[in-house]
């Protein structure tokens, strides 16, 4: 049940960010659900591998390279999901930052 709550929160955040952030568009709410699922899967399986292989760069940049990895995940999700469009890398960077902050704040209200 907790997973469904998190998925619903992520879906709502994706819809809101697409509405407020220029350069991001979501075709419909079902596409937002798919984006939330794909982002969760990418963050679960692909992100740890990328973090491992870019560890020296991440340490050298004092962790700021993780923002680039997150933006790359959003751009990859853009390529994988039809109906989800992100205009530029900078837009993907903003989207990933706002998504991460929003999720962190809203997940604090979910009891495990």
Please give the backbone phi and psi of residue 62, each rounded to the nearest 5 degrees, phi first.
Answer: 60, 35
- Burial tier of 110 (Cβ tally within 10 Å: 0-12, 13-18, 19+): exposed
> CA 74, CA 56: separation in Å to the nearest integer?
22
**pLDDT for the residue 109:** 82
According to DSSP, the residues that pair with 85 across neighbouring strands are 25
Write out pLDDT tens, residues 11-50. 999 999 999 999 999 999 999 999 999 999 999 999 999 9
- Confidence label for 1 from pLDDT (cuts 50, 70 and 90): low
Contact 91, 24 (CB under 8 A): yes
pTM for the whole thing? Answer: 0.93
What dihedral angle (degrees, nearest 10) is formed by the CA atoms of 104, 99, 17, 108? -10
> Looking up tokens 């989207």, which residue turns up?
95
For residue 26, the surrounding DSSP H or E stretch is: strand 24-26
**pLDDT for the residue 36:** 97
């Amino acid at each position: 049940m907790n997973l469904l709550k998190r998925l619903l929160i992520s879906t709502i955040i994706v819809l809101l960010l697409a509405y407020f952030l220029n350069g991001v568009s979501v075709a419909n709410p079902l596409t937002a659900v798919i984006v939330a699922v794909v982002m969760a899967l990418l963050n679960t399986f692909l992100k740890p591998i990328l973090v491992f292989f870019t560890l020296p760069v991440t340490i050298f940049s004092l962790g700021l390279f993780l923002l680039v990895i997150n933006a790359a995940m959003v751009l990859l999700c853009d390529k994988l999901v039809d109906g989800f469009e992100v205009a530029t890398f900078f837009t993907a960077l903003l989207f990933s930052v706002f998504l991460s902050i929003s999720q962190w704040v809203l997940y604090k209200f979910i009891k495990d």
